[in-house]
Amino acid sequence: EVEQGPWTDIYALGAVLHNLITGNPPPVSVVRCIEDNYQPLVERQPEGYSLPLLHAIDCALAMKPGDRPQTIDAFAALIDLPVSDVEAVVNSFPVPGEPPALPVEEPVETSAPVVMAMNHAAASAEPVTPRTVR
């Protein structure tokens, strides 16, 4: 049994980021244990993503837990975004105002349902009285 810790969550984060960037999950880890056919994102260089981000994702997806960033701070340092700066980045976005109130719909009175079709054979059948079991 392998010990779990932040590096386990960092692998999951790397897998999610890989999926978001490529449109596909990374190769399944069980298969990678047999034959590691993972092509690093740094080699693929998908357009629009920085090399430090791609490198951080590749590191997060390392098969050996010891080869992964061991903390989120270490992961953030790989993409050159210290966690201490995250609060400043988040706070730089405007805070949305109160959402508009949703209109209250008045209850609609409904009439009795209209029968569109009827099984005439079933409607004219005599009710069945169950037999008593002895």
Q: Which domains does the chain have, with CATH numbers?
A: 6-91 (1.10.510.10)
pLDDT at 53: 94
CA distance 120 to 103: 45
Residue 103 has what pLDDT? 83
Which residues, including other chains, have CB under 8 Å from residue 13's CB and lie 6 or more apart?
60, 75
- Distance between terminal CA atoms of the chain? 60
Alpha-carbon separation of residue 8 from 17, 64, 72, 128 (angstroms)? 14, 10, 11, 64
Question: How does the average pLDDT of the chain come out, rounded?
Answer: 85
User: Rounded to whole angstroms, what are the CA distances from 70 to 21, 67, 96, 105?
Assistant: 23, 8, 35, 53
pLDDT bracket for residue 123 (50, 70, 90)? low
Is the predicted pLDDT of residue 124 greater than 90, yes or no?
no
pLDDT over threshold 70, residue 1: no
